[in-house]
Structure 1
């Protein structure tokens, strides 16, 4: 790759667009925030459950094996808590799954996951 091609590739990687490019993305983000708030309100009203399910044999086996090995379960839970900048506390099956899902979504889709934080902030301050 020539020096000019390398510079062009670097420019493309580091360009962020302009405000016109960002407007549709912000509109989509706000729609996602609004939809999350609606789902949170439905959960709070008892119209929808807080639980989610995943069908994954390997993951189910892993979690059950961790439960059978409490020291390793604590190690995994504490590692997840550190990655999420949380204080290390005792963990259970549900917390390990919750932390792993949050961490994965936060790493893979940080902008979309930020919508969850924004929706939680908006919902928490709604009645103030």
Structure 2
């Protein structure tokens, strides 16, 4: 079998019926997640739910408090997170560090799911235009 035949076989496999069904199911699952996120955003905007989240973790609490006691390190960590997320470096505080760390973690560990957050934010921003 030639290299061209191998490429053609690989292309056929990629475009098989099963792959298209899996892609459609994944898109449907993403759409549902985006809708759920939009519902939650609307509840937050209406004041029915809070914007805050809580995390119970002694080690992280100690780390964040130690950073707050060392403002230069707090800025270094914050700027490193901003660079990783391709954001412009700016002022950081406890809340910003935690927000950036969560975003980076979700983006790295679950990029497809986290893309639903971005899509929901885009839809919410353009709602009513």
- TM-score normalised over the length of structure 1: 0.86
Shift in Å, 1:90: 1.1
Q: Structure 2 matches for 1:89-104, cutoff 5 A?
A: 89-104=90-105
Q: Structure 2 matches for 1:9-24, cutoff 5 A?
A: 18-24=19-25
What corresponds to 1:112 in structure 2?
A: 113
Shift in Å, 1:21: 1.6
What corresponds to 2:35 in structure 1?
A: 34
Shift in Å, 1:102: 0.3
Alpha-carbon distance in structure 1 between the residues aligned to 2:33 and 2:22: 18
Q: Cα RMSD over matched residues? A: 1.4
Shift in Å, 1:18: 2.3
SS at match of 1:18: helix
What corresponds to 1:7 in structure 2?
A: none
Deviation sequence 1:76-116 (CA, Å, 0-9, x none):
00000000000111100000000000000000000000000
Unaligned runs of 5+ in 1: 1-10
- TM-score normalised over the length of structure 2: 0.86
Moved over 3 A (4+): none
Q: Structure 2 matches for 1:38-53, cutoff 5 A?
A: 38-53=39-54
Number of residue equivalences? 115
What corresponds to 2:63 in structure 1?
A: 62
Query: Which structure has the greater CA radius of gyration?
Result: 2
Deviation sequence 1:21-61 (CA, Å, 0-9, x none):
21111111000000000000000000000000000000000
